[in-house]
């Protein structure tokens, strides 16, 4: 039978010699490997002090982008949801009402946009499928949560804050 990888080797079934029974060559070979690695540069990164460099193809947390005027780019075309192999993206479209021209750039917008990060495989197909460049993957790790509901990111979690119309948050004390 021919092997696919070509890395298969036959097992030697001969009886062991006296030196092989002593295991001295095997011990010396193991010590040689240990000594070789002892003087190599360490690959461990001391995290808080040193930041790890990301690969140029790293795909992290999703972000919904805005245009130059601060309006949402997403037109709820659904191409990102169709392109997602894990079916992690769900959205509902709505019509823009008169007076909302400063919020949405097209007549149709995503009223509800959710990404289930437990299902997402970070393939980047949603980013490639979007004709408006509304969604992209950043170099940010998704944070950890204690409940499953924390991994479902809604439109409010994904949308970049509007620099022209900042939302004032009021803290209530309870």
Residues in binding site = 74, 77, 80, 84, 120, 123, 126, 130
The terminus-to-terminus CA distance of the chain in angstroms comes to 74
For the beta carbon of residue 119, count every other beta carbon within 10 angstroms: 14
User: Which residue ranges make up the annotated binding site for [4Fe-4S] cluster?
Assistant: 74, 77, 80, 84, 120, 123, 126, 130
Three-class SS state of 72: strand
DSSP-derived 3-state class of residue 116: strand
Q: Do strands 152-153 and 62-64 pair parallel, antiparallel, or not at all (unpaired)? A: unpaired
97 C-beta neighbours (distance < 10 Å), count? 9
Residue identified by tokens 């949603």 is: 126
Q: Are 112 and 146 in contact (CB under 8 A)?
A: no
Beta-bridge mates of residue 89? 115
- Whole-angstrom distance, CA of residue 105 vs CA of residue 70: 9
């Amino acid at each position: 039978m021919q092997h696919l990888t070509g890395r298969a080797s036959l097992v030697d079934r001969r009886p062991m010699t006296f030196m092989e029974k002593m295991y001295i060559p095997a011990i010396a070979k193991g010590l040689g490997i240990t000594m070789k690695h002892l003087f190599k540069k360490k690959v461990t990164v001391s995290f808080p002090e040193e930041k790890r460099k990301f690969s140029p193809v790293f795909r992290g947390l999703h972000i919904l982008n805005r245009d130059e005027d601060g309006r949402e780019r997403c037109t709820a075309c659904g191409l990102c949801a169709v392109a997602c192999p894990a079916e992690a993206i769900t959205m509902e479209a709505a019509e823009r009402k008169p007076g909302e021209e400063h919020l949405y750039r097209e007549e149709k917008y995503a009223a509800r946009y959710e990404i289930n990060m437990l299902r997402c495989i970070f393939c980047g197909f949603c980013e490639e499928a979007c004709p408006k460049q509304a969604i992209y993957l950043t170099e940010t790790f998704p944070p950890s949560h204690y409940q499953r509901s924390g991994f479902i990111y809604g439109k409010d979690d994904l949308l970049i804050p509007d620099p022209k119309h900042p939302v004032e948050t009021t803290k209530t004390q309870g």
